[in-house]
Structure 1
Amino acid sequence: MPKTMPVTPTRAPAENGWHEPAEKRLFEQLAHLAPDHPTRQRIREDLAVRHQGLVTRLARRFSNRGEPLEDLLQSGNVGLVKAIDGFDVQRGHVFTAYAVPMILGEIRRHFRDTGWAIHVSRRLQNLKIMVHAARDDLVQTLGRRPTSREVARELDVSVAEAEEGFEVDEAYSCLSLDAMISDDNDRRDESHVAQIDRELDLVVDRAALWPLLSDLPDRERTVLLMRFFGNQTQSEIAGTLGVSQVQVSRLQARACSELRARLEAA
């Protein structure tokens, strides 16, 4: 018997690049409707729903840059609606080729308008973009980081404007005081992070302790000062005073008990 090949479903051929002819027909209907026609809004919403996957894919490209994905999706949908309203199906182009630049443009505009740590004027935002684009081009040409004068010459602006463009970049993203600083990114720089100071609870006790130290015998007072203020071990103290470590331990214990009793009685 002759062998039969399995039937594999094939996708319908594209109609002038349109894989979904129904979508093209929607745009054709939209083009013939008046702006206030009741059917127009329904068709626009249908087209917007059909391209939510495109908006989501484009928005996810920027999802790791500090802005919530929901905000990026909202900006992308603004671009999608603008693309739907401005698309001319009679030109013969596929809609996605027209929509992608507009969606990306709205997402990038979102970053320009809201992604700054502090508010700067639109002129400075644009200047920052121009300066950094020129710098990147000059790095490739010169093989090194260009000077502000070279960037100014490339853009035909003053040196002061070029330097201003570099400086305004610092306002775009501020480093958190809680930022990671180690090479393996596993610990935080806590030198400037607010912490609870446990030593504050001892301020009153320490203020009351100093007058009581002067009442101790000389050797006991010396042992305490060397142990707790000089950070010496009992062995080191014993060697300095010429006594045994056991004697140092007894002197320390007796002095601490005496001070504790006086503080509680005060």
Structure 2
Amino acid sequence: MRLAVLTVASAARRAHLERQREVLAAVAPDTARVEVFLDDEVAPGIRDPEARTLHVPPGPHGLRVGAGRNAAAAAAIADGAELLVFLDVDCLPGPDLFARYADAARMHPAALLAGPVTYLASVQRPAVADLPFVTRPHRARPALPPGETRTADPGEYDLFWSLSFAVTPATWQRLGGFHDGYEGYGAEDTDLAWTARTAGVPLVWTGGADAYHQWHPVSSPPWQHLDDILRNGAEFHRRWGVWPMGGWLDAFAAAGAIERRGAAWVRVPNA
């Protein structure tokens, strides 16, 4: 099975990208790679001659992550990929990630495949051989033994995270890719999951397809992304009739930054 790993990146994540490249060279040296840069311009010296490089510039409201992933998928399919493996720039593949996704794709070719994710602490920069020893899958999602798969219940589609997943080209085309109405942070992965559920595409938890999220500073709720969350949340509500990211919206509201007005969430003036 011909695999392609697809990564969207920006200059702000350059150190993460370089580390991801190092690990990919160790665990999957022959796997085709597509890297899509989302900044206004591709930073000098950031291109990797071993990867296919694309450029999807930002929209008026921020980085176009979904559009970048769509462009990467189109390029990989045109190059003959039989399995698309999406891996965010701040994630490292485990030694068995590609083999487990490929095995799962053979068993579930019409599914959206999602492996477990370990969030590394700031002090952790493990060698490739040590990754299995730091595996601690995030407890919010199912983590199956290596080699096992399980089809998600309908209520579990909200647990789909686009930082690591795999799909065959036929299923990708059935999904239609990411909705390109989202810019900046948030909602595009939940939208894809809801599209899959509506289309009858199974979400399959894939044991042993471990990815490792490299540490970087975050805030909870993510105040730096408040405007993105309101804008993208409104787009999600327009498409699906509900607001995503409810926990964050509740936290922003509790802090007095936003308020509910009818069906909408809006900023509180002068907050």
TM-score, scaled relative to structure 2 = 0.22
Larger Rg: 1
More strand per residue: 1 or 2? Answer: 2
TM-score, scaled relative to structure 1 = 0.23
Query: Which is bigger in relative contact order (C-alpha 8 A, separation at least 6)?
Result: 2
More helix per residue: 1 or 2? Answer: 1
